[in-house]
Amino acid sequence: MAKRYVSLWFRHLKTDWLTLRQPQLSNKALVLSTPSHGKMLITATNFLAEKEGIHSGIAVADARAIFPSIEVMDDNPSLPEKLLGKLAEWCIRFSPFVAIDPSADGLIIDASGCSHLWGGDEPYINEIIKRLKDRGYEVRGAMADTIGLACALARFGKEKLIIEPGQNLEAILPLPTASLRVDPEIIVRLHKLGLWQTRDFIKMPRSALRRRFGKDILEKLDEALGFKEEIIKPIQPIQPYQERLPCLEPIVTATGIEIALTRLLESLCTRLQKEGKGIRKASFKSYRVDGKIEEIKIETNRASWHVNHLFKLFEINLSTIEPDLGIELFILEAPIVEDVSSIQETMWNRSSGLENIGLAELLDRLYGKIGSKNIYRYHPDEHYWPERSIKKVFSLAEEPASPWKIDRPRPIQLLSNPEPVEVTAPIPDYPPMLFRYKGKLHKVMKADGPERIEQEWWLSKGEHRDYYSVEDEEGNRYWLFRSGHYSGNKSYQWFLHGFFA
Amino acid sequence: MLGENANIIAQLKKEILPLQGFKSIKGKENYDLGLGPIRFAFPNSCFPLGAMHEFCCDEKENTAATSGFISGILSRLMKDGATCIWVRTAKTIFPPALKTFGIDPEKIIFVDLKSDKEVLWVMEEALKFDGLAAVIAELRELDFTASRRLQLAVEHSRVTGFIIRIKPKKLNTTACVSRWRISSIRSGSPNDLPGIGFPRWNVELLKVRNGIPGSWQVEWINGKLKPIQKSIAVIPEEQKKTG
């Protein structure tokens, strides 16, 4: 497809922004200044100041002499980059590929195949300019086959700002040499020789041009004419798996958003299915009329291209999207996709084990509501210390690395913090006769033990535990332990740690 | 004539059962869950799968006994490698002990939640999915509407649901097909060996739809519930010395 580029030039980017922030500045001549070599130099002007003949590069003192009542403010050199970044993101609604112009205060939009959605090149560019003007920015825009030509036209073009495909040469001829984006020194040299317009030197032999003005000028000419491709970096990398849905009328209803999501999912999933891939992570972005972007994200356990399932995952958080005045563009992206084998899928679907697709889909739905940290399985861990003998596993695919130990009795209910109990034991290392737990006295009728479990000194310090399983006269079975040895001067403590079935 | 009527009534009763949520699952019509004598309390002498069962626990000790009893049933349900989901608000289950009841603990997916409301939501979502052996939920209160939602979900998916109600304020009516109370009783001494024997429980079936409520004293041995032989249950007082 033939490439089409739109170049936007914000003539008074910084002053426009300041006027937006402080509306009282709108009818004053405003300049921004920055100190340089001991004097204040003007770096930006607004429209009114420009009308008085003040332009950037002259000293503030000189400007005051021309027009005494100008408003002078400090310049912030990092501001344009931030502003352009924001504006570029806003412009994504017109094309997925928007870049910041390397030469100052401009944006470049790759409009290839976009303008027909707005009814042609002219309505497209007019819409962009009108919308930006409504936001309060003075902007010039031009459209051409190449970035170089579009930029030159946006800044220096006279009447025709939209160049039809294939008419690059005619368009470039009347443009001034300064529009070529080469080193200012070279421009000065060209001017000295009386070469004011591109047509003055474009027919000169290339070798002569290279010898006199360097190879830069030839490169820029080639780029502007489309003989050489210029590379720009988009503000947001284009996702390979992305679907867009621009809306003619802003969407404000939940039903509208649902329809948009379903359509995007259908087209994305059809494409993924053809390529044998499935979504692991996806995000659904809604671009609002007022410039804000609402985003919801989902994650899946297993790569999936099931529209219904993915829709259900999004549905949980769909109500958090605030359409406000309306949403004009929906984008569905899948940053992470994985291969899906359809043969395996049918096989897995029949089993009722952990590898069932339906189970992964069920958990995906639960993740969306309660978070993935709260859903897990237990695997044995190679420790004797009861609290450490199990570990949480969050993936469904992981297999236990070691078998479960069942040689010693373990209670089915384990308290996360052992609770202290008062105990009467006949002689050391014998199980207790009586113990009092939460004020209730239990008489021990049967007992097993002790089972000594040592602390793992490389993990934590503390006393070992002597565990006893005991049964009281009612038949309830408990797991008690004594922390440490009996000894005269040291205190020892008994704890209740669990309940047997 | 009387015999004929009895036949008709039996036939009609059988037809009514599926309408009341007792649909038998294909291939599992005569499924033995190792319940021993308890199975005769149920209609068709078959523990109702694909239905909701409610267990009441007043004390922590009861909860342990209940978890043990449910684990016993689960071990049969999960025999073919099936998985189950355990929804809870307190992290008390100690998985290594489940292994002694014949369950592969790594096959259970635990879901930790903060409130009963969340538990009910997760349980209903899980019960709607037919690829699980069972869903177990620990919660405090269960009103009739919530229980009916769960019962409707299981009738559709044929998954068995267990609800462990911990210290419920009031035992209200629910749509569950059965209500149980399990408590521990003193274990026996096989071959007169000292120490604690196999787990023994007093199983009370307080309510069962179309069945016969009752109470049994059973022992969990080798993956099966067996009725207690009275001779083992009675231990002379003087042998119980521990000191």
- In the numeric block, which tokens belong to residue B112? 């930790």
Mean pLDDT of B33-41: 82
Q: Counting runs of H as helices and runs of E as strands, what totals does chain A give?
A: 15, 19
Query: Are A212 and A359 in the same domain?
Result: no
Q: Which residue has the tokens 């050199």?
A: A77
Question: Each residue of B160-179: pLDDT tens digit?
Answer: 999 999 998 888 888 899 99
When divided into structural domains, chain A yields a total of 4
Q: Which is more confidently placed, A470 or B12? A: A470
In a domain, residue A201? The reply is: yes
Q: Are residues A295 and A164 in the same domain?
A: no
Query: In this structure, how many other beta carbons lie within 10 angstroms of the beta carbon of residue B214?
Result: 14
CATH number at residue A128: 3.30.70.270
Mutant choice from A446, A469, A470, A496 vs B, greatest count of B C-beta within 10 A: A446
A424 touches chain B (CB under 8 A): no
* Whether residue A33 has pLDDT greater than 50: yes
CB proximity A378 to B under 8 Å: yes
Given a cut of 60, whether residue A346 has pLDDT beyond it is no
What tokens appear for A117 in the block? 């959605």
**Is residue A52 domain-resident?**
no
- Which residues of B fall within a CB distance of 8 Å from A397? none
- Report the SS3 class of residue A143: strand
CB B181 within 8 A of CB B56: yes
- The answer to the question of residue A61 being in a domain is no
Q: Do A76 and A223 belong to one domain? A: yes
The whole-number pLDDT of residue A92 equals 85
Average pLDDT of chain A?
85
User: A249 and A169: one domain?
Assistant: no
From the list A358, A375, A430, the residue facing B243 with the nearest CB is: A430
| Confidence bin at B95 (pLDDT 50/70/90) | very high
pLDDT at A156 (0 to 100)? 87
Amino acid identity at A46:
N
- CATH number assigned to the domain comprising residue A259: 3.30.1490.100
Which residues are bridge partners to A421 per DSSP? A494
Mean pLDDT of A364-370: 83
Q: Flag if A448 and B183 touch (Cβ within 8 Å).
A: no
Residue pLDDT, tens place only, B142-165: 999 999 999 999 888 888 999 999
Whether A390 has a pLDDT exceeding 70, the answer reads yes
| Domain-embedded: residue A175 | yes
User: Stretch A433-461: mean pLDDT, rounded?
Assistant: 89
Last residue of a domain, one of A208, A238, A268: A238
Confidence class for position A302, pLDDT limits 50, 70, 90: confident
Minimal CA separation from B186 to chain A, in Å = 4
A444 in the same domain as A316: no
Do A248 and A234 share a structural domain?
no
Q: Are A313 and B125 in contact (CB under 8 A)?
A: no
The answer, yes or no, to whether residue A352 has pLDDT greater than 70, is: no
Give the span between the Cα atoms of B116 and B120, in whole angstroms.
6
- What is the pLDDT at residue B230? 59
Domain end: A310, A336, A366, which one? A366
In a domain, A51, yes or no: no
Quick count: other Cβ atoms within 10 Å of Cβ B170? 5
Q: Are residues A362 and A469 in the same domain?
A: no
Are A168 and A253 in a shared domain?
Answer: no
Interface test with B, best of A424, A474, A499 (most B CBs within 10 A): A499
Homologous superfamily, domain B49-235: P-loop containing nucleotide triphosphate hydrolases (3.40.50.300)
Phi, psi of A87 (to 5 degrees): -65, -40
Q: For residue A55, is it within any domain?
A: no
Residue B147 vs residues A53, A114, B51: alpha-carbon distances, Å: 81, 55, 11
pLDDT tens digits for range A458-494: 888 888 899 999 999 988 999 999 888 877 666 678 9
Contact residues on chain A for B121, CB-CB shorter than 8 A: 369
Q: Residue A62's pLDDT is what?
A: 86
Provide the token pair at A435.
Answer: 């113990």
Q: Is the pLDDT of residue A152 over 50?
A: yes
B162 has which bridge partners? B53, B136
Q: Which residues of B touch A410 (CB under 8 A)?
A: 94, 96-97, 100
Scanning the structure block, which residue is given the tokens 């995000």?
A283
A300 and A216 in one domain? no
| Residue A37 within a domain | no
Q: Is 80 exceeded by the pLDDT of residue B23?
A: no
| A200: containing domain | 1-28+70-238
Mean pLDDT for the stretch of residues A269-283: 86
Q: Which of the four pLDDT bands, split at 50, 70 and 90, describes residue B222? A: confident
Task: Examine residue A48 and state whether it is found in any structural domain, yes or no.
Answer: no
Instruction: Please check the confidence at residue B79 and state whether its pLDDT lies above 60.
Output: yes
Question: Parallel, antiparallel, or unpaired for β A30-36 and A39-45?
Answer: antiparallel
* Model-wide pTM > 0.90: no
Q: What's the pLDDT at A277?
A: 84
The pLDDT score that the predictor gives to residue B91 is 85
pLDDT at B28: 56
Same domain, A222 and A324: no
Q: Are residues A402 and A455 in the same domain?
A: no
Please indicate, yes or no, whether residues A213 and A309 belong to a single structural domain of this protein. no
Closest chain A residue by Cα to residue B113: A374
